[in-house]
């Protein structure tokens, strides 16, 4: 654990202070610095990281992408969280809510590539509200006396509509397709 944390600390310094670093333009050249406490002491940085629950699955993330590396502006985040906080993300606002394309895709149960393609040709409102082919009534599924589109079953079960649709196409029963947790096997194997 200490070795990886030491590399994180060293890489942070390289991004901010080494003009030959490949990403220096996005950090040091933009004026991003490291507080004196961390810049001069790995021990101080490591103490902060450990006090904030550091594990080897985490990365250091600046809350304000224009702010410095310091305890007040940093957090430990998963790679997914950090990816959603990148300064070059495309943010989409719809119904007064702003999220990245990946966050919208996840929330809506749409493959992110499908959503990205929609956004290239349609206004955000249409891209985020247009039903996919699998959402129309011809793909309705009935289970326990309830009939819903694959899209509606997705919202009810939390299983992505593409997963439900793929399961049906592979020959799963409706019950198996909408009751088996994501990544699960319908036969309990």
Q: Would you state the pLDDT for residue 125?
A: 85
Shared-domain flag, residues 6 and 74: yes
Shared-domain flag, residues 11 and 50: yes
Our count of domains for the chain comes to: 3
Shared-domain flag, residues 98 and 53: no
Range of the domain at 6: 2-82
Q: Evaluate whether residue 186 is within a structural domain.
A: no
CB contact set of 16 (below 8 Å; sequence gap of 6+)? 24, 27, 28, 32, 33, 34, 69
CA 15 to chain centre: 23
Q: Return d(Cα 76, Cα 71) in angstroms, integer.
A: 10
Write out the H or E segment, with its range, that includes residue 103: helix 101-108
What does the pLDDT look like over 119-162, one tens digit per residue?
A: 888 888 888 887 654 444 446 788 898 888 888 898 999 998 88
- Cα–Cα nearest to 129, from 119, 144, 143: 119
Burial (0-12, 13-18, 19+ Cβ within 10 Å), 123: exposed
Q: Would you state the pLDDT for residue 79?
A: 67
Q: Evaluate whether residue 141 is within a structural domain.
A: yes
Shared-domain flag, residues 18 and 54: yes
Q: Would you state the pLDDT for residue 189?
A: 42
Q: Evaluate whether residue 112 is within a structural domain.
A: yes
Q: Evaluate whether residue 100 is within a structural domain.
A: yes
Q: What average pLDDT does the chain have?
A: 83
The more confident residue out of 9 and 145 is 9
Q: How confident is the model at residue 174 (pLDDT cuts 50, 70, 90)?
A: confident
Shared-domain flag, residues 34 and 8: yes
Q: Evaluate whether residue 123 is within a structural domain.
A: yes
Q: Would you state the pLDDT for residue 137?
A: 42
Burial (0-12, 13-18, 19+ Cβ within 10 Å), 16: buried
Shared-domain flag, residues 124 and 173: no
Q: Are 81 and 28 in contact (CB under 8 A)?
A: no
Shared-domain flag, residues 50 and 121: no
Shared-domain flag, residues 125 and 139: no
Domain termination residue (choose one: 20, 54, 82): 82
Unique residue bearing structure tokens 């410095």? 68
Specify whether the backbone of 31 is left (phi greater than 0), alpha (psi in -120 to 50) or beta: left
Shared-domain flag, residues 39 and 98: no
Least confident of 9-13, 45-49, 115-119, 135-139: 135-139
CB contact set of 53 (below 8 Å; sequence gap of 6+)? 76
Q: Evaluate whether residue 188 is within a structural domain.
A: no
pTM of the model: 0.49
Average pLDDT estimate for 70-95 = 76
pLDDT above 70 coverage of the chain, percent = 85
Q: Would you state the pLDDT for residue 43?
A: 96
**R_g of the chain computed on alpha carbons:** 22
Q: Evaluate whether residue 34 is within a structural domain.
A: yes
Q: Evaluate whether residue 99 is within a structural domain.
A: yes
Q: Are 38 and 49 in contact (CB under 8 A)?
A: no
């Amino acid at each position: 654990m200490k070795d990886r944390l030491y590399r994180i600390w060293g890489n942070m310094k390289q991004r901010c202070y080494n003009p030959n670093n490949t990403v220096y333009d996005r950090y040091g050249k933009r004026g991003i610095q490291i507080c004196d406490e961390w810049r001069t002491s790995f021990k101080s940085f490591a103490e902060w990281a450990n006090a904030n629950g550091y594990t080897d699955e985490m990365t250091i993330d600046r809350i304000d992408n224009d702010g410095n590396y310091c305890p007040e502006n940093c957090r430990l985040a998963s790679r997914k969280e950090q990816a959603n906080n990148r300064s070059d993300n495309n943010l989409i606002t719809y119904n007064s809510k702003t999220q990245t394309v990946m966050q919208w895709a996840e929330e809506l149960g749409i493959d992110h590539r499908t959503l990205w393609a929609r956004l290239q040709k349609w206004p955000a409102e249409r891209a985020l509200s247009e039903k996919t082919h699998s959402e129309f009534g011809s793909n309705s599924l009935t289970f326990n006396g309830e009939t819903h589109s694959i899209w509606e079953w997705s919202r009810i079960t939390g299983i992505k509509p593409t997963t439900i649709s793929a399961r049906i196409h592979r020959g799963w029963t409706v019950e198996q397709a909408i009751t088996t947790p994501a990544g699960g096997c319908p036969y309990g194997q």
